[in-house]
Amino acid sequence: MPYLKLRDGAELFYKDWGNPKGEVVTFSHGWPLSSDNWESQMVFLVSHGYRVIAHDRRGHGRSTQNWTDHNMEIFVDDLQELYKHLDIKNAMIVGHSHGGGEVTRFLGKHGTSRVKKAVLVGAIPPFMLKSSANPEGTEKSVFDSFREAMSKDRAQFFLDVPTGPFFGFNRPNAAKSEGQIRSWWEQGMRTSFKASYDCIKDFSETDFTKDLKSIDIPVLVLHGDDDQVVPIGAAGLKSAKLLPQGKLKIYPGGSHAIHNVNVDEVNKDLLDFITS
């Protein structure tokens, strides 16, 4: 399994699948997961001749479990190192939830010289936290309750999230998948406690508004209108308006994890966008 030794000695795990000469699509995962959460999209695009790359953010999955540096500035610098190491050019970059924040800050900070298109899936930008300037956001007390639940019983909290709002399995008549729940729990528990805890602040209190405004490439925003984790009114609708070349697709009844639940539709949207 490939690892990249980063500037500070931390090791970043990544997957590099498919046609080595094909067009590149990279994936950034959500909290508190790993690159495994993208496998349905990765296998699909490989079957269409693409080279797909996905990494586990530091502290997550199989990457180094360092005690500090669980913040967006470090994450996007790690991703830039991976892009340079693999000499990635003309890529489409895709991010879900917290990973959508990573994609947005990466393009805002490091530019678009290596990227031609981007996709944000149930992504956290522009800003999750409720304030007078952002009344559609989520109260800080909600994120405080996440930290409290983690400190009390992380294993149970990481079972409650996928059983309930993440996949929308708490909705009436939802087609519940025990496999998805177990996979989420396993990925979450593989991530270090410290990274999981610190990243609650990172995904809830990082403002991506300036980044969105600066992105000079086409960006597809995919968001479910029943996203209980990152509500569309505070995220996808706003991001699409702030992006100079933003295009929004709303998934009616879609949960936070549309790429896991609406697999075929998301796969088609990704393929259509990269070939358009």
97 catalytic residue (yes or no): yes
Q: Are 16 and 51 in contact (CB under 8 A)?
A: yes
223 catalytic residue (yes or no): no
56 catalytic residue (yes or no): no
Q: Are 212 and 111 in contact (CB under 8 A)?
A: no
Per-residue pLDDT, 1: 64
Low-confidence ranges of the chain (pLDDT < 50): none
Pairing of strands 11-18, 51-55: antiparallel
Residue tagged active-site, from 29, 55, 70, 256:
256
Residue tagged active-site, from 227, 239, 259, 269:
227
Residue 253 falls in which region: left (phi positive, over 0), alpha (psi -120 to 50) or beta: left
Helix (H) or strand (E) holding 157: helix 140-163
Residue 168 falls in which region: left (phi positive, over 0), alpha (psi -120 to 50) or beta: left
Residue tagged active-site, from 97, 196, 239, 255:
97
Q: Are 274 and 117 in contact (CB under 8 A)?
A: yes
Q: Going edge to edge, which strands form the sheet with 24-28?
A: 3-5, 11-18, 51-55, 24-28, 91-96, 115-121, 219-224, 246-251
Q: Give the domains, in start order, of the chain with CATH numbers.
A: 3-275 (3.40.50.1820)
